[in-house]
Structure 1
Amino acid sequence: MDWQVCIQYPNGKQRAIRSCKNRETALKYVDAIYTLGYPMHVAYIVRPTPPVDLIGAYTNDLQIIW
């Protein structure tokens, strides 16, 4: 399973900043970030990489020219 290190903002939005194959490696990245200090308004989290909707991604980018 793939894991993402994400930054979570106060409004709840998350943005992936790194992907890892191993959860322990992802957690080590978060630990390394926090050794530099704790940010006031964001959190760093580890989450499973969400599945990709390949059909939806493909059809949304598909352009039909008549």
Structure 2
Amino acid sequence: MIRHDLSGANWKKSSRSSANGQCVEVADLVDAVALRDSKDPAGPVLVFERVAWASFLVGAKDGLRQR
């Protein structure tokens, strides 16, 4: 398993996040993208290869278009 240095990560929350805290935060790393629960910033972090993250975004956007 690859360990990523998250100490300098610049976490961003979506501008569409709700006020009730049901949000995730994303950090752009050198070679990957990290995702965490905004309510638990010290908790677990998921790290995705850029290709996998890009595929997720395409799928999410396509799903929104099909509504």
TM-score under structure 1 normalisation?
A: 0.32
Which structure carries more relative contact order (alpha carbon 8 Å, separation 6+)?
A: 1
The structure with the greater share of residues assigned to helix is 1
